[in-house]
Amino acid sequence: MDIRKIKKLIELLEESGIAEIEIKEGEEAVRISRGSTAGLIPHYVSAPAPMAPAPAPAPAQLAAPAAAPAKAPSANAIPSPMVGTYYAAATPTAKPFVSIGDEVKVGQVLCIIEAMKMMNQIESDRAGRVTAIMANNGDPVEYGQPLFVVE
């Protein structure tokens, strides 16, 4: 496959915001995907692409559910809606969105989770008082991991 075509695919991927693209031409194939920290990572394969990377995440996925039940303190927990990095404030020098003891309303921003270089505001789905904050600033969080307890 021509290197100019590959560079053009990378440019298209950057402009569109698509996470991954795979193109096959005859027996040649190229798969380009956005890495969480490395930017764009081109993968070159020939003929049918083996799914070698798929088994590697499986042990990590098996370990995560075993740890998750220990963290769930109550039914009042607000879980993370996605995998990413937890931030308590909009900027490193800004005041946190909420602190323990704060009263929150439905729709109030509680934190930011960065996922794939996108900053996602996480809003409260219930009104009440924040009794616990389960993540520290800059911590990686998993889908379903409790972030706050609001009673």
> What is the DSSP code string of 76-107?
TEEE-SSSEEEESSSSTTSPPS--TT-EE-TT
**pLDDT confidence of residue 42:** 52
pLDDT of residue 75: 82
Tell whether 54 is covered by a domain.
no
pTM for the predicted model, two decimal places:
0.52
Is residue 67 in a domain? Answer: no
Q: How far apart are CA 6 and CA 11, in angstroms?
A: 9
- Confidence at residue 66, expressed as pLDDT on a 0 to 100 scale: 45
When the pLDDT of each residue in the chain is averaged and rounded to a whole number, the result is 77
Domain membership of residue 26 as a residue range: 3-46
Is residue 62 in some structural domain?
A: no
Residue 86 lies in a domain: yes
In a domain, residue 135? The reply is yes
Model pLDDT for residues 67-85, shown as the tens digit of each residue:
444 444 578 899 999 999 9
Looking at residue 131, which CATH number applies to its domain? 2.40.50.100
| Alpha-carbon torsion angle 127, 131, 135, 141, nearest 10 | -40
Burial 94-119 (b: 16+ CB within 10 A, else e): eeebbeeebebeeeeebbbbbbeeee
pLDDT at 37: 43
Residue numbers of the chain with a pLDDT score lower than 70: 1, 34-73
Number of domains within the chain: 2
